[in-house]
Structure 1
Amino acid sequence: MTGRHAGRLWGLGVGPGDPELLTLKALRLLRAAAVVAYPTLEEGSSFARSIVAGFLPGGQRELPIRVPMTTERAPAQRAYDAAAVEMAGHLEAGRDVAVLCEGDPFFYGSFMYLFGRLAERFPVEVVPGVSSLTACAAVVGQPLAARNDSLAVLPAPLPDAVLRARLAEADAAAIIKLGRHYPRIRALLEAEGLAERAHYVERATLPEQRLVPLAEAGEVAAPYFSMILVHRRGEAWRWPKD
């Protein structure tokens, strides 16, 4: 175990994109950290850093984590291995490290891979953030689930048969990680009679956000930051009228 004067690792959820959705706690810890780490593409800028850029006080050490965007797991795991070693050096030296994570760190967040490598050796605090799930529901203006509804979060890369089975079991669903899978998912929802009860959302809370009923969305080049929300019973939260 590391000594008592080790630095603390903070996993900060920075929300879906709108800087005003950063929590007060995340902001306080962000400004206090000696080192700020964040995921970024091998070539290009970091979306997580761009969310908090206006709040950075300056003078902090920055640690970009360059994660290859590939379906193969090994390259990304090597990137997290290398980042964990570098962070461990800062923590052992007594420097607090804040890791920025889009959305929430423990909801499909990249921070969990660093948590798995460092949590047994150093003190860790996770600060939840506004997730893409709740952000998309908010901008669409429709609740995710009501009363005793079951809600399923379904990654689009799942096979069609698995998606059909899980959609059949759930009252409401959020289908994430659309990207190139969007045409297949749209066709599946149409075949299941759910397209009329679904909304397509991309880049929620950002100035360029787009939201539209799925039945009117047509063929789109869905980005990584996109989602389909569907409720089997429609607007189940509304009180029935006589």
Structure 2
Amino acid sequence: MTPPQTGRLYLVGIGPGDPELMTCKAVRILTQTSVWAAPKARENSSSALQIAAAMVSPEGKTVLELCFSMKKIRLGCEPDQEAAQSWRQAAETVLAQLDQGRDVAFPTLGDPGLYSTGFYLLHTLRELRPDLPVTVVPGITAMSACSAQVVSPLGLGDDVLTVVPAAFDDARLRDILMQSDAVVLMKIFRQLPRLLPLLDELSLIDKAVIVERGSMDEQRIHYDIRAAAGRELHYFSTMLVRKKQLISRAS
């Protein structure tokens, strides 16, 4: 049973990177909560924490940086042991605060419902506390920010839009690229050399653009996909492929 004084968990989407793209609700929740639990990879500081702190001061708050495994997760399969252990440790850390009656905000890049660590944490927490009170605060997605930066729609009219992780196998990606009018390929930073021949085969090279660190100060836009394949792209790199019109060059 849920302890009577259990705090509320907030999964807070803080947008794609530009702090000004945080919603008013996200700012309010982060301001009101006394505990922030920020996700990070083991070797890095928390990007979500840095963005949140640019709009709301963390001074006086309890800030927990939770380490999450970066290993690939396939739904319907048993998770990697390291990933499952990291979720469990994070859940227990957060639960210790919630059981003291303290509300906890979990700021996550983009939107919590789109390839976010927030729902892995929530799933593990609800295994421990099935009745845990939770509020999800949606945020602006990376793909929306990338679309804005290149001044091109994600979907228009009767477009079929597909959003996929770039790590899908080539056969599935080929089918998706052939059947969809527009495709968003997430996290392509290590996948581009593998994707290049497929884009070439389908004559989509000139209908693709890469946005690296979209909306952030270090943002770069790559219209020359072949040249970008020779670069070391940042982890926050997204490719937009649009068949019905060429990607326009932002002015």
Q: Same fold per TM (> 0.5)? A: yes
Deviation by residue 1:63-102 (Cα, 9 ceiling, x = unmatched): 1111233448322221111111121121121100000111
Partners of 2:222 and 2:133 in 1: how far apart? 44
Residue of structure 1 equivalent to 2:115: 108
Partners of 2:183 and 2:224 in 1: how far apart? 14
Partners of 2:27 and 2:6 in 1: how far apart? 22
| CA displacement at 1:109 relative to structure 2 | 0.6
Partners of 1:105 and 1:128 in 2: how far apart? 6
Partners of 2:71 and 2:132 in 1: how far apart? 30
Partners of 1:110 and 1:31 in 2: how far apart? 22
Residue of structure 2 equivalent to 1:32: 32
- State the 4+ residue runs in structure 1 displaced beyond 6 angstroms: none
Q: What fraction of aligned residue pairs are identical, expressed as a percent?
A: 39
Matches of residues 105-144 of structure 1 in structure 2 within 5 Å?
A: 105-119=112-126, 120-144=130-154
The one-letter code of the counterpart of 1:69 is M
- Name the CA shift for 1:235/1:43 in 2 (closer, same or farther; >3 Å): closer
**Any gaps of 5 or more consecutive residues in structure 2?**
74-79
Partners of 2:210 and 2:58 in 1: how far apart? 37
Q: Secondary structure at the match of 1:179?
A: coil
Is residue 2:155 matched to residue 1:145?
Answer: yes
Residue of structure 1 equivalent to 2:62: 61
Q: Which moved more, 1:22-31 or 1:116-125?
A: 116-125
Q: Which moved more, 1:211-220 or 1:40-49?
A: 211-220
Is residue 2:237 matched to residue 1:226?
Answer: yes
| CA displacement at 1:182 relative to structure 2 | 0.8
Partners of 2:12 and 2:48 in 1: how far apart? 10
Partners of 1:130 and 1:231 in 2: how far apart? 20
Deviation by residue 1:184-206 (Cα, 9 ceiling, x = unmatched): 11221111101111111110001
Partners of 1:168 and 1:144 in 2: how far apart? 17
The one-letter code of the counterpart of 2:60 is G
The one-letter code of the counterpart of 2:66 is I
Partners of 2:58 and 2:95 in 1: how far apart? 23
Q: Which moved more, 1:50-59 or 1:201-210?
A: 50-59
Partners of 1:131 and 1:163 in 2: how far apart? 22
Partners of 2:132 and 2:108 in 1: how far apart? 19
Asked if the contact 2:196/2:226 (under 8 Å) is kept, the reply is no
Is residue 2:100 matched to residue 1:93?
Answer: yes
The one-letter code of the counterpart of 1:136 is C
Asked if the contact 1:91/1:122 (under 8 Å) is kept, the reply is no
Partners of 1:202 and 1:77 in 2: how far apart? 30
Asked if the contact 1:135/1:205 (under 8 Å) is kept, the reply is yes
| CA displacement at 1:19 relative to structure 2 | 0.6
Deviation by residue 1:29-69 (Cα, 9 ceiling, x = unmatched): 10111210011122331100010113124111111111233
The one-letter code of the counterpart of 1:113 is Y
Q: Secondary structure at the match of 1:180?
A: coil
Aligned length: 237
Asked if the contact 2:29/2:105 (under 8 Å) is kept, the reply is yes
Asked if the contact 2:206/2:246 (under 8 Å) is kept, the reply is no
The one-letter code of the counterpart of 2:116 is G
Asked if the contact 1:30/1:56 (under 8 Å) is kept, the reply is no
Q: Secondary structure at the match of 2:164?
A: strand
The one-letter code of the counterpart of 2:61 is Q
Asked if the contact 1:37/1:99 (under 8 Å) is kept, the reply is yes
Partners of 1:233 and 1:29 in 2: how far apart? 40
Asked if the contact 2:37/2:105 (under 8 Å) is kept, the reply is yes
